Structure 1
Amino acid sequence: MIFLAISFIVMLAFGMPVAFAVGISSSFYFINEAVPLQIVVQRMVSSTQSFSLLAVPFFVLAGNLMNETGITRRLIKFATVITGHMYGGLAQVSVVLSALMGGISGSATADAAMEARILGPDMEKRGFSKGFTAAILAMGGLIVSTIPPSIGLILYGVTGEVSIGRLFLAGIIPGALMTIGLMFSVYLISRKRDYKRELEKPASFKEVMIGLKENIWAIIFPLILIVGIRFGIFTPSEAGAFAVVYALVIGLFVYRELTFSKLLEVLHQTSIDLAVIMIIIICSNAFGYALVTGQVPQTLARAILTVSTNQYLILLIIMVFVFIIGMFMEATANVLILTPIFLPIITRLGFDPVHFGILFMILITMGGMTPPIGVTMYSTCSILGCPIDIYTKEALPFIATIVLLLVVLAIFPQIVLFLPNLVYGI
């Protein structure tokens, strides 16, 4: 196992993409241990043969379709109507937009990159510092990873055999609290720095209702999915297929902005997105098989459980470990590799796997927004031309806000589990 760890770290240090670093280091391990490569290939291929996993390509395609139907532009306008009068103006708009986009994109990095391209230049023109702009646009992606249909929650549910319907419901309240927390942080910073409002006065009730009417198809989308899954109308995978049809209908017949050329671009972008996701899934499965073969989960579990008998101290150790790993590896790979390791430990300690899943996803995603190798951080900073050190300094208040929220969610699991238990029963 030392050989596996060293080869993996060395390849990451030299800048090799995570999927290839995971796959190649796993191959080195199996060759060194004389494990037949036929078995390894079978394991890699079998990881794609999951019916539940079909939800991922469907939701990725649906998200890309809805981004090309004019929904994003309408959501920005609606978010401006709701929050444009607050201190921070466009920064507040970006946070609310992330909450609204959670039901569409399902990807923190995709949301942050989209907002950096659309809102970033305008925020800088209005006097927001480059570091503040990059930090809030990146950190807002955390909301997307929590509010359904989060791709990360789907992968966690598939890998850990946890109800995806319960996970979707569990993410709603934490996502809402995260939105409020980040908006409050933006308010405090913007008031201190005198960042301007986008609107002179709050929108009237009529203007809010008009905005709600324009965006009703996007806003009710997550609700339709959750209700459909809960009442057995469709499985999570079938919900993904429904999402694609829904997006096509909205684009073609409601907003009428989905042209044939846009559809081709959507399919092209989706094929690229899915190629990246699937190669990570395949290589991570091989890596996970290597870890199981080397009995790493059992060894790590024994080591952690000998530290203390206090379940919350052990949860803290695991969470810190997950956050640190998230700084170096892409979130999708982390979910697939770490879930089989830590979920058995957590359930053995008496924690609910749905509760742990929300904490787990928030921390793993936040790792992508912190140095040294945060994917979301690099995406946002590269688009805006922001130095990493300036970004890091500006992101600290937002990171502190999320950490405080995580502490509250860890101590009071009923906040996370209220909706799942209400809808599904305890």
Structure 2
Amino acid sequence: MLLVATVFTILLVIGMPIAFAVGISGVVFFLQNPDLPRTMTVQLTVTETQNFALLAVPLFILAGNFLNSSGIAHNLLKLASVLTGRLQGGLAQVSIALSTLMSGVTGSSIADAAMNTRLLGFEMLKRGFSKGYAAGVLSYGSLMAPIIPPGIGFILYGTVGQVSIGRLFAAGIIPGFMLWAALAVTISITARKHGYKPELDRAPTPSEVFKASIAGSWAILFPIILIFGLRFGVFTPSEIGAFAVVYAFLVGVFAYRLLTWTSFKQAVEASLVDVGAVMFLLALSAVFGYGIIFERIPEVISTWMLGITDDPTIVMVIIVLFILVAGTFMEGSVLIVMLTPIFMPLIQQYGIDPVHFGLVFIIAATIGNYTPPVGGAMFVVCQILRCPIEDYARESMPFLVAVSLVTLLLIFMPGIVLYMPNLLFNP
């Protein structure tokens, strides 16, 4: 596997798309093992696309694009402004609240960061926010997108690792709001230092709160319906993806009446691009993953870990540190697809709950989207706002510290993560 790892690293360094880097390095493994039939590379690629559970991925992507095209973001923006407009930091607080409310709609941190930057980024600059600070808030705010259900990361991890997607969805609820609270407190402290004022100068009236809540209720109900649909056996994960598409379509056409034929076509086209990228990566990763299993890499790592410690918590800390470093070079979904087959046998050996590990794993993998040198959300936000990376890196440091502390807390207190899954599903 040393040659495979070398080829993979070289391909990444020269800028080859990650799916091709994964696929080519996987083929190299078969070329250096003459006893393995070459036709397996094609068979593994095709077989991976036949996984019925993966049907949920394109369906949730399509549902998210339908909701984005329905005008739901503007209604949630009004609700976020009412809820947080009086807090220190003004639009920065509004952006964090909007990201949290939109999490169940987009399911993707990069998509969420791009959308919120276009909605609020330039308004924040007009109100005196520095580019680095605005970019930091808008990027880290999207961390809740894959955590609050239905995040695509949960579906990928659950499918690859054979973990209950319903329990993973439930596990993301409390940590998602903990991350919101941590970022909101960080904004209050740093905004006071920079002199960023609240957006509203008075408390909202009960009537304003009620109207804003009603307008945003369709989006708020979305993850609730999904979790309870899975809990009571109304839907399987794939079926609930189909329900999500129908729900998003009906909300866009009849509730908000903004999903026109033009926006419908745009949502379908955007979904085709997104689905193609994700499924292509998954298909080619099967070739790469076969080499990992064939060479018994999980067992090698397990033996090495056992030589260091037998404490499951310390093992999780070591794994998270590795994921954080790897996340600075690769996108979160890639890490989930590639590393889940490696770490799943290891955590089972240590008796770590796969739902607890999955939640922490996905947070750590997503954090890589916000850190140099290769952070997807960081690049998107900085490109839109024309913000230098060095300004972003400096002013976003308090937010990195905040989310890292929450991640550590979740590692050492698994009960926080498992409370909702155990409450809603069988322990």
TM-score (norm 2): 0.98
Give the superposition deviation at 1:289: 1.0
Please give the per-residue CA displacement for 1:326-385, whole angstroms capped at 9, x wherever unaligned.
111111111011011112111211211000111000000001211111111111111111
Kept in 2, the 8 Å contact 1:285–1:336? The answer is no
Contact 1:55 1:154 in 2 (8 A): yes
Distance 1:398 1:27 in 2: 40
Residues of 1 paired with 2:80 and 2:312: CA distance?
A: 41
- Structure-1 residue corresponding to 2:140: 139
CA distance in 2, matches of 1:285, 1:133: 39
- What amino acid does structure 1 have at the position aligned with 2:269? H
Matching residue's letter, 1:315: M
The answer (yes or no) to whether the contact 2:323–2:361 under 8 Å persists in 1 is yes
Match for residue 199 of structure 1? 200
How many residues align? The count is 426
Q: Which amino acid aligns with 1:125?
A: K
8 Å contact from structure 2 (residues 299, 346) kept in 1: no
1:207-248 CA distance string (max 9 Å, x none): 111100111111111100111111010011111100110111
CA distance in structure 2 between the partners assigned to 1:37 and 1:110 by the alignment? 38
Partner of 2:187: 186
CA contact (8 A) 2:76 2:101 kept: yes
Structure 2: which 5+ runs fail to align? none
Instruction: Report the CA distance between 1:287 and its aligned residue.
Output: 1.1
SS at match of 1:203: coil
Equivalent-residue separation in structure 1 for 2:253 and 2:205 (angstroms)? 31
1:33 lines up with 2:17 in the alignment: no
2:77 is the alignment partner of 1:94: no
Map 1:213-362 → 2, pairs under 5 A: 213-362=214-363
Q: How does 1:124-163 map to 2 (within 5 A)?
A: 124-163=125-164
1:67-89: CA deviations, max 9, x gaps? 11110111111101111111111
Kindly indicate whether the alpha-carbon contact (under 8 Å) linking 1:409 and 1:415 is maintained by their aligned counterparts in 2: yes
In 1, the alpha carbon distance for the partners of 2:282 and 2:381 equals 24
Rounded Cα–Cα distance in structure 2 between residues aligned with 1:300 and 1:292: 12
What SS does structure 1 have at the residue aligned with 2:234? coil
Cα distance in structure 2, aligned partners of 1:115 and 1:221: 19
Contact residue 88 and residue 188 of structure 2 kept, 8 A: yes
AA aligned to 2:167 is: R
Give the Å deviation of 1:52: 1.4
- Whether the 8 Å CA contact 1:103–1:218 is kept in 2: the answer is yes
Decide whether the 8 Å contact of 1:126 with 1:196 is kept in 2.
Answer: no
The separation in 1 between residues aligned to 2:282 and 2:151, in whole angstroms, is 16
- Aligned equivalent of 1:73: 74
Q: Could you tell me whether the CA contact under 8 Å between 1:95 and 1:183 is conserved in 2?
A: yes
The alignment partner of 2:370 has SS state of: coil
C-alpha contact (below 8 Å) 2:107/2:145 kept by paired residues = yes
1:89 and 1:198 in contact (8 A); partners too? yes
Instruction: For residue 36 of structure 1, report the CA deviation from its aligned partner.
Output: 2.1
Moved more, 103-112 or 322-331: 322-331
Give the match for residue 107 of structure 1.
108
Task: Tell me, in whole angstroms, the C-alpha distance in 1 between the residues paired with 2:116 and 2:76.
Answer: 12
1:15 aligns with 2:19: no
Output the amino acid matched with 2:16.
M
Taking the aligned partners of 1:289 and 1:382, their CA distance within structure 2 comes to 37
Q: Deviations over 1:238-293 (max 9, x none)?
A: 11100110111111111111110111111111111111111111122211112112
Task: Give the residue type in structure 2 aligned to 1:90.
Answer: L
Contact conserved, 1:56 with 1:151, CA < 8 A, in 2? yes
Counterpart amino acid of residue 32 in structure 1: Q
Give the Cα–Cα distance (whole angstroms) in 1 for the partners of residues 38 and 250 of structure 2.
46
Shift of 1:386: 1.1
Question: Deviation string for 1:117-163 (max 9, x for gaps)?
Answer: 11111111111110111111111111111000000011000011100
- Mapped pair 1:385 → 2:386: yes
Displacement of 1:13 = 0.8
| Preserved contact between residue 316 and residue 357 of structure 2 (Cα < 8 Å) | no
Q: What one-letter code is carried by the residue in structure 2 that aligns with 1:23?
A: G
Structure 1 unaligned spans of 5+: none
Aligned position for 2:416 = 415
Does the Cα contact within 8 Å between 1:23 and 1:283 map onto a contact in 2?
yes
Please state how far the C-alpha of 1:180 moved relative to its aligned partner: 0.6
Is residue 2:52 matched to residue 1:46? Answer: no
Do 2:370 and 2:377's aligned partners in 1 also have CA atoms closer than 8 Å?
yes
Whole-angstrom distance in 1 between the partners of 2:323 and 2:234: 35
Amino acid corresponding to residue 77 of structure 1 in structure 2 = K
Letter in 1 for 2:420: L
Structure 1 SS opposite 2:394: helix
Corresponding residue SS for 2:104: coil
d(CA) in 1 for partners of 2:394, 2:60: 34
Matched residue type, 2:186? S
Q: Partner of 2:396: helix, strand, or coil?
A: helix
Counterpart-to-counterpart distance in 2, 1:333 and 1:403: 21
Task: State percent identity of aligned pairs.
Answer: 46
Task: Look up the equivalent residue of 1:290 and give its one-letter code.
Answer: G
Supply the RMSD in Å over aligned alpha carbons. Answer: 1.0
**Helix, strand or coil: the match of 1:75?**
helix
Once residues 138 and 337 of structure 1 are traced to their aligned partners in structure 2, the CA distance between those partners, rounded to angstroms, is 24
Equivalent AA in structure 2 for residue 338 of structure 1:
L
